[in-house]
Amino acid sequence: MKLLVTGAWKCTDEQLNNLAKLGHEIVFMQNESDKLPCDYKEVEGAICNGLFLHHDIEKFSNLKYIQLTSVGFDRVPMDYVKAKGITINNARGVYSVPMAEFAISGVLQLYKKCQFFYEKQKNNIWEKHRGVLELYDKSVCIIGCGNVGTECAKRFNAFGSNVFGVDLFPREDSAYEKIYPLSDIDNCLSKADIVVLTLPLTEETRHMMNDERFNLMKDKSVLVNIARGAVVDEKALLKSLDNKLLGAVLDVFEQEPLEENSPLWDKENVIITPHNSFVGDGNSKRLEKVIFANLGK
């Protein structure tokens, strides 16, 4: 197979050579927005991320295989892929560990009043805070119980939290006390001290967290969004941060980069990171394993 590999996979020469040893002809391009280094019709497979945002997929007339370096399929015209019978794989499981660690880290920063102590340390001030909270025995609702959600559940369990989930396809899973159907989301939100969003963005989930849903959440609860920004209505979130929520841990936003004048920047009870939760030093090995396993099928 003539395989177009883009810089979305930060691969080594050795990894490319190993692909070639499997019988593939490798063509490499660093930037997915650049001109292709070969004719479109020559490409039979692609390892990429946003390639089809810059190049019309219909030009790849002999495309049979796509390996994404991302988990989401939202950068690929999936209707076309399905209609043409193109095999497509995502990076399932590759980024789950660092994202779960990020979720725990963010909640702990809010619960342990890290910002308060950081400011005191900067100013050489010895001052206690009596409002520090524990994760132990807190109720945690994971909305979206795939790989990322389940890795989150495992880690909250380790702190002695009571973890339950909400998913389109409920199942028995030892990481959760119970996984509820999506139709029970409102009831689940009302019981949770911490809500973690790890579900995909679809037309059904866009602005799923709106005024009504935030009003259902417990007073002084925490929202963690490591899913997609548009799952949350940011205007509704801003209101809730003033009078409802203890805080929010936000790695994704409706518009990225987050605008400099966004009022979210100034919220002392918000932790903001630039879509960075997926980064971890183990990703490269996990992605390599996924790529070679899928190509070997």
Give the active site residues: 228, 256, 275
Positive or negative, the Cα torsion across 67, 71, 76, 77?
Answer: positive
Which of 104, 107, 79, 42 lies closest to 248 in space, CA to CA?
A: 107
Contact 197, 231 (CB under 8 A): yes
Report residue 55 as tokens. Answer: 């190049």
Question: What CA–CA distance (Å, rounded) separates 295 from 25?
Answer: 13
CB-based contact 196:149 (threshold 8 Å): yes
Distance CA(124)–CA(126), nearest Å, equals 7
CB 179 within 8 A of CB 171: yes
CB contact at 8 A, 263 and 270: no
C-alpha–C-alpha distance, residues 186 and 219, integer Å: 15
Pure H helices in the chain = 13-21, 51-54, 78-83, 96-111, 114-122, 147-158, 185-191, 211-216, 234-243, 283-295
